[in-house]
Structure 1
Amino acid sequence: MSRRLAMLPFGLLLAVLVLSFIFPGNPVNGINQEGISFPDTAWMLTSTALVLIMTPGLAFFYGGMVSKKNVISTMLQSFICMAVISILWVVLGFSMAFGDSNGGVIGNPGTFFMMQGVLGGKPWELAPTIPLVLFAMYQLKFAIITPALITGAFAERIRFTSYILFIVLFSLFIYCPLAHATWHPEGILFKLGVLDFAGGTVVHMSAGWAALAGALYLKKRNEPSHNPARVTYVLLGTGLLWFGWFGFNAGSAFGANGLAATALATTSAASGSAAFAWIIFDAIRGRKPSAMGTCIGAVVGLVAITPAAGFVTISHALAIGIISSIVSNLMVELRTRRTNIDDTLDVFPCHGIGGITGMILTGVFASKNVNANIAENGLVYGETHLFSVHLLAMVGVSLFAFFGTLLLLKVTDLITPLRVSDEEEREGLDLSQHGERL
């Protein structure tokens, strides 16, 4: 980062430092303990840590897939999200996602500005047995990994400083509105009855469509083909993601209860069936069962079960894993052979299409016998309303995430060029952007 470019973020950090003195966030009457369950709190502290480890897992998952000269830059793009989004979430993000509703679309930035009222605040309405601050920190981990997921689509060609600006804009203007609309009791999608247990819509669909927008906007790499640098990194990253995903899904029950156990079981079933389905589907077409295929299949299953984890039976979770794996596998093939889109690590076919498939299948398989808090059963039980709502929401979210991201990419590009020069790309981003080598 050049000295001139560093002045703006330095000024913003200085502003945050000043604001931390002006708004210390002290609880008025101490930490609120009313109605708090210590077992639920212990589980959610654990889940928060589990979700955080998914981002380093993603760094290894993506880092192993790119060329050797871009491993460090690709991994750092995930790690920097943990720094930048943590600051943003404290200052504005949590308020814009979960603050007082403005028309069901976005939260009031002043509700929890600089985390005012969070330490001593009443528990969140939908998580009444854990401290509000724990709910805020748990949701932070979702906000961290979402922009990190996008990076696989434009890997090996984005300028690091421009990427930082982009993830700030994406988090504020794409992620926070979707989180508010879907998970806030006054959110427009929540009121429509859209079910998203742990982020299929908010996290994976938004990241998937943003990835497609990024791949189209930054255009193809000069050398679009490469050999993965470290398949062992991919295996390690998959293990960390799989491990952390139990906090991602089971933690979204917001308590140590039967619903959390259900989400854990459905997550296990879907990821396993998707991993196996991917390599079997490859084998049918004459390909060898690969480590990469197994890992990608597992992640696709985890993506697809995310919106459904607390709403479907375990046997239906198997179906979700198998269906999503085959659909995403076909989309990877279609993207590779029939289009010129350079989605470097197939983020849209895996996360975008996986999230869409999961959202649709939630509308198919959701059951009030699994979760009594939902209003309607899915299509397989003979009820059509939930399925119709999910189809409508899928279209709306897709349009918002795709075109909104295109606009933010253009804004970012006007402020600071998004793409590295041809010479920097040939040299590799590890050296050209960070002065480091694997």
Structure 2
Amino acid sequence: MNAADTAFVLISAALVMLMTPGLALFYGGMVRAKSALNMLMMSFISLGIVSVLWVLYGYSLAFGDDLGGGLVGNFDHVGLKGITADTLTGGKEGIPVFAFALFQLAFAIITPALMSGALADRVKFSAWALFIALWVSLVYFPIAHWVWAVDGWLFKLKVIDFAGGTAVHISSGVGALAAVLVVGKRIGFRQETMRPHSLPLTMLGAGLLWFGWFGFNAGSALSANGVAASMALNTQVAAGAGMLGWLAFERIRRGAFTTVGAASGAVAGLVGITPAGANVNVFGALAIGVAAGVLCSWAVGLKHKLGIDDSLDVVGVHLVGGLVGTLLVGVLAIDGVGGTAQLGRQAVGAFSVMVFSFVMSWAIATFVDVTIGFRAVERDETRGVDQAFHAESAYDFKVLDGSPAGLGAALASGAADGRTPDPKPVG
């Protein structure tokens, strides 16, 4: 066992795990106060559901020996059967399979959580939990096998996806789109102003995501080596370039540099570099970051024109950013790898994942909707899903006095306890 590599992978796994609470804060700050806890829980529940399913059968389906055609693994490692603390990933200088399984588990956890932002404010929590369980089982585990298992069909095709442009971001981005089409728009979409209730939380969440992304990307080298160092540097460069690209485009389009734009631009750059960072130099990372920032910002602006209620821009950032990085690495890859042939392979990988994830996600969302109902009832959505599904509120609005200013603040927030305050006379 290589102790240094093992320690590096374990630390990277912890960093990736931290990204899910970071995502919860990132999304939680962008919703209205009456739905803030629900938004946090939609990410946190993935930590529980996916951790259990991964150990039971997820690891085996993703990284077990192929059942045929490079589509999915077998069931030889159900319950991690046949794996011990001494089982190494390969050779005399390997890392424990348990370390690799933990690292990949963190990826499996955050991928469905990414979709939650598209469905903010309007879905039943029990339905969301069922959707996650079915989605990781039928969509994520097979795609992870395609991309990263040595006998997966995209791996054998030599599609470059170092850390999850296809398996994580494209699959979740297009899956979110499918789910939104099934669930429908929020009440008041394009009629009410639905402002973020706490941009400081969003900025904190973005910072945690950025921090954890070093484990996400550099850790995918599975070794403390030069590839990891190059990936870490490119991760930082692309995130910064993505933020600047988004803000520049936003300044031209809207005349302002917003905090949401800064946070979203950094995430867009991180998404873009994820599949590509180990195969491009720093100039390639700059190009991918800027392209992801600009194109994702442009894509986010289309949702109102298209009438798609992707609440927190999951499709615009993760699907578009994943496509940017996955395709551009086919052009910008160094050491003679990039070129027309590689671009073609990248397109096959990106669009096969898109089609599979969209069809399966739409089918799963429809199944959930038909069986137990995906959408919250109108009363719960209007009052706020925090009280409806969690019997809690993110903020105590009872501390407000009866003044017009305090009353107006509670009304504007939707009153997190779900009840409109009584209009008591002043004085």
Regarding TM over 0.5, the answer is yes
C-alpha displacement at 1:126, in angstroms? 9.8
1:35-74 alpha-carbon deviations (Å, 9 max, x no partner)? x111111111110100000000000000000111000000
What is aligned with 1:377? 337
C-alpha displacement at 1:127, in angstroms? 11
Closer/same/farther in 2, CA of residues 164 and 185 from structure 1, 3 Å limit: same
Query: In 2, Cα distance between the equivalents of 1:127 and 1:81?
Result: 35
1:345-424 matches, within 5 Å, as 345-368=312-335, 377-379=337-339, 384-424=340-380
Query: In 2, Cα distance between the equivalents of 1:254 and 1:146?
Result: 20
TM-score by length of structure 2 reads 0.89
What is aligned with 2:72? 106
* Residue 211 in structure 1 maps to residue 179 in structure 2: no
What is aligned with 1:289? 257
Identity of aligned residues (%): 42
What is aligned with 1:329? 297
1:144-190 alpha-carbon deviations (Å, 9 max, x no partner)? 00000000111111100011111011001100010000000100000
- Judge conservation of contact 1:127–1:135 (CA < 8 Å) in 2: no
C-alpha displacement at 1:117, in angstroms? 2.0
1:43-82 matches, within 5 Å, as 43-82=8-47
1:408-437 alpha-carbon deviations (Å, 9 max, x no partner)? 111222221100000010011101111111
* Residue 161 in structure 1 maps to residue 129 in structure 2: no
* Residue 229 in structure 1 maps to residue 197 in structure 2: yes
Closer/same/farther in 2, CA of residues 150 and 128 from structure 1, 3 Å limit: farther
The farther-off stretch of 386-395 and 348-357 is 386-395
C-alpha displacement at 1:125, in angstroms? 4.6
TM-score by length of structure 1 reads 0.87
- Judge conservation of contact 1:127–1:254 (CA < 8 Å) in 2: no
* Residue 436 in structure 1 maps to residue 423 in structure 2: no
1:189-268 matches, within 5 Å, as 189-224=154-189, 225-268=193-236
Number of positions where the alignment pairs a residue of Structure 1 with one of Structure 2? 390
Query: In 1, Cα distance between the equivalents of 2:201 and 2:254?
Result: 26
Query: In 1, Cα distance between the equivalents of 2:44 and 2:287?
Result: 34
Structure 1 residue runs of 5 or longer lacking an equivalent are 1-35, 369-375
1:174 pairs with one of 139, 142, 152? 139
What is the RMSD computed on CA atoms of the aligned residues?
Answer: 1.3
Closer/same/farther in 2, CA of residues 227 and 286 from structure 1, 3 Å limit: closer
C-alpha displacement at 1:122, in angstroms? 3.4
What is aligned with 2:117? 152
- After TM superposition, the runs of 4+ consecutive aligned structure 1 residues lying more than 4 A away are 125-128
Query: In 2, Cα distance between the equivalents of 1:127 and 1:77?
Result: 41
Closer/same/farther in 2, CA of residues 128 and 145 from structure 1, 3 Å limit: farther
Structure 2 residue runs of 5 or longer lacking an equivalent are 395-427
- Judge conservation of contact 2:159–2:342 (CA < 8 Å) in 1: yes
What is aligned with 2:307? 340
Query: In 1, Cα distance between the equivalents of 2:241 and 2:85?
Result: 44
What is aligned with 1:18? none
What is aligned with 1:307? 275
Closer/same/farther in 2, CA of residues 300 and 360 from structure 1, 3 Å limit: same
Closer/same/farther in 2, CA of residues 125 and 208 from structure 1, 3 Å limit: farther
- Judge conservation of contact 2:174–2:357 (CA < 8 Å) in 1: yes
Query: In 2, Cα distance between the equivalents of 1:259 and 1:323?
Result: 23
